């Protein structure tokens, strides 16, 4: 079984990365994966990471959980995590994994989900399932949303384009990050329709206005304003993984490099890095944003009833319960714990999205039972992307959809609206 804190733990320290790469180099599958491996990864052939147990002849645990060779082989999203860990540059993998401080918030996102159980009902006709959800008049076949995550070309050369194609393949709502490594127009084209756009409002209003004008012109119907990162977080896991990365960051992260210092959405806006943080931003900014655009406004990063009420008072169109996947404040408060009080405050008046630690269909089910209309995921699809590009993102989403469908059948809930508060209990 996956340990509760597997998201933050480092289950495969660097030696297993090396062992796997050696084994992989000798495998016929190396061709299939080579596009994902860091330069110079293929090394001399050798044995698989570990062999059968000498006493029983059964394979050891590390063989049972050995990295899968193709996206289709992944049994759960953690199988994709294991491949991403060895296929990606350490610093970039560390950027995905990191929380803040001792990672209490990130870990609690998971443990709080595990403290809930599902109250399964019997003898309900579940031969037909309905997982559709309608957000702002647009119907989606699944409530599973692709959370905005920046810098995706750092995880795979096709970055946000691979994610957009995977989103299109199964009809997922995709939200594009302000700090994406691909411009919104290109992503919209790959997605086949305009995505929702996540906004980091800079502290320079002219820069912010230029970004908003651009995404409005690109046809994005919804702006998701992220409000949980007014200042930087204490990302120790990122620092530790960066330490073991032998490459020089400045070989890519420099003006004109493969990862330019000014992100595509800020180019041509007069943006300076000092503009990025918004420590002075208050609720008044909602009014300013309203004056800039007629797009729908969703506020992302709320974790209290009080802020949900303020958001409604300020006229937002939707609320996204999030602690940035445990990458912002080290409060230790899990989003699944914050969800019920926010759902009660919202009372169905606006759509409610939640994210933070959702890794299985049962987790998504629990969020819907606690009042979410849709559930977003970050790291699971990034693991898929880092491991296998578009095929990996598709597989991560497919696993979650299939698991949700199976959970709904086994719980006797044929539609999302049948998943009410009584469908979960606390252990």
- The residues carrying an active-site annotation are 324
Contact 280, 315 (CB under 8 A): no
- Tell which positions 211-240 bind ligand FMN, by CB under 6 A: 226
Q: In angstroms, give the least distance from the CB of 341 to ligand FMN.
A: 19
Q: With CB under 6 A as the contact rule, which of the stretches 15-23, 41-49, 321-329, 416-424 interacts with ligand FMN?
A: 321-329
In angstroms, the Cα distances linking 118 to 9, 19, 341 are: 26, 40, 19
Which token pair is 65? 């959980």
Please identify, using beta-carbon distances, which residue of 49 and 99 lies nearer to ligand FMN. Answer: 99
Please identify, using beta-carbon distances, which residue of 21 and 298 lies nearer to ligand FMN. Answer: 298
Q: In angstroms, give the least distance from the CB of 325 to ligand FMN.
A: 3
Please identify, using beta-carbon distances, which residue of 66 and 77 lies nearer to ligand FMN. Answer: 77
- Tell which positions 347-376 bind ligand FMN, by CB under 6 A: 355-358
Q: In angstroms, give the least distance from the CB of 384 to ligand FMN.
A: 12
Please identify, using beta-carbon distances, which residue of 19 and 160 lies nearer to ligand FMN. Answer: 160
Which token pair is 199? 């906004």
Task: Specify the 3-state DSSP secondary structure of 391.
Answer: helix
Q: Bridge partners of 176?
A: 197
- Closest among 36, 365, 376 to 174, alpha carbons compared: 376
| Of the candidate residues 142, 174, 198, 202, the single one contacting ligand FMN (CB under 6 A) | 198
Q: At what angle do helices 335-346 and 104-114 cross, to 10 degrees?
A: 70
N-term to C-term CA, the chain: 18
Task: Specify the 3-state DSSP secondary structure of 123.
Answer: coil
Please identify, using beta-carbon distances, which residue of 38 and 59 lies nearer to ligand FMN. Answer: 38
Q: With CB under 6 A as the contact rule, which of the stretches 20-28, 58-66, 142-150, 289-297 interacts with ligand FMN?
A: 142-150
Task: Specify the 3-state DSSP secondary structure of 63.
Answer: helix
Contact 286, 315 (CB under 8 A): yes
Separation CA 98–CA 151 (nearest Å): 14
- Tell which positions 105-134 bind ligand FMN, by CB under 6 A: 109
| Of the candidate residues 66, 133, 147, 393, the single one contacting ligand FMN (CB under 6 A) | 147
Query: Does residue 385 touch ligand FMN according to CB under 6 A?
Result: no
Looking at residue 119, what DSSP letter applies?
-
Quickly tell me which residue has 């330019």 as its tokens: 260
Run of H or E including 68: none
- Tell which positions 161-190 bind ligand FMN, by CB under 6 A: 177, 179
Q: With CB under 6 A as the contact rule, which of the stretches 143-151, 235-243, 287-295, 398-406 interacts with ligand FMN?
A: 143-151
Residues of this chain that interact with ligand FMN (CB under 6 A) are: 95-96, 109, 147-150, 177, 179, 198, 226, 300, 322, 324-325, 327, 355-358, 377-379, 382
């Amino acid at each position: 079984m996956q340990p509760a804190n597997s998201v933050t733990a480092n289950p495969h320290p660097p030696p297993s990365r090396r062992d796997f790469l050696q084994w992989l180099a000798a495998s016929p599958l190396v061709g299939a994966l080579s596009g994902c491996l860091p330069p110079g990864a293929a090394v001399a052939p050798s044995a698989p990471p570990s062999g059968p147990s000498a006493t029983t002849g059964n394979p050891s645990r590390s063989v049972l959980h050995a990295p899968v060779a193709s996206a289709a082989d992944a049994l759960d999203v953690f199988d994709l995590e294991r491949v991403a860990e060895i296929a990606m540059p350490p610093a970039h993998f560390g950027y995905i994994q990191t929380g803040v401080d001792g990672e209490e918030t990130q870990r609690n996102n998971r443990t709080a989900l595990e403290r809930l159980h599902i109250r399964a009902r019997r003898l309900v006709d579940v031969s037909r399932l309905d997982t559709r959800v309608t957000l702002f008049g647009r119907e989606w076949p699944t409530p599973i949303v692709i959370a905005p995550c920046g810098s995706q070309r750092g995880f795979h050369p096709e970055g946000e384009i691979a994610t957009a194609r995977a989103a299109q393949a199964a009809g997922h709502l995709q939200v594009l990050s302000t700090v994406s490594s691909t411009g919104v127009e290109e992503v919209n084209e790959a997605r086949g329709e305009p995505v929702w756009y996540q906004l980091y409002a800079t502290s320079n209003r002219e820069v912010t206005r230029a970004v908003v004008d651009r995404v409005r012109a690109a046809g994005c119907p919804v702006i998701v304003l992220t409000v949980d990162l007014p200042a930087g977080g204490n990302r120790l896991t990122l620092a530790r993984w960066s330490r073991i990365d032998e490459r020089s960051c400045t070989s890519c992260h420099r003006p004109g490099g493969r990862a330019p210092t000014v992100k595509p959405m800020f180019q041509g806006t007069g943006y300076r890095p000092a503009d990025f943080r918004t420590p002075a931003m208050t609720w008044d900014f909602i009014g300013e944003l309203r004056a800039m655009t007629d797009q729908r406004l969703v506020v992302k990063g709320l974790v209290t009833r009080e802020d949900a009420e303020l958001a409604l008072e300020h006229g937002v169109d939707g609320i996204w319960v999030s602690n940035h996947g445990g990458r912002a404040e080290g409060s230790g408060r899990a989003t699944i714990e914050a969800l019920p009080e926010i759902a009660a405050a919202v009372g169905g008046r606006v759509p409610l999205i939640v994210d933070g630690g959702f890794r299985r269909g049962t987790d998504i089910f629990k969020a819907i039972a606690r009042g979410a209309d849709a559930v977003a995921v970050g790291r699971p699809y990034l693991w898929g992307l880092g491991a296998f590009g578009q095929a990996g993102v598709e597989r991560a989403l497919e696993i979650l959809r299939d698991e949700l469908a199976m959970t709904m059948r086994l719980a006797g809930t044929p539609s999302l609206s049948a998943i009410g508060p009584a469908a979960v209990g606390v252990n």
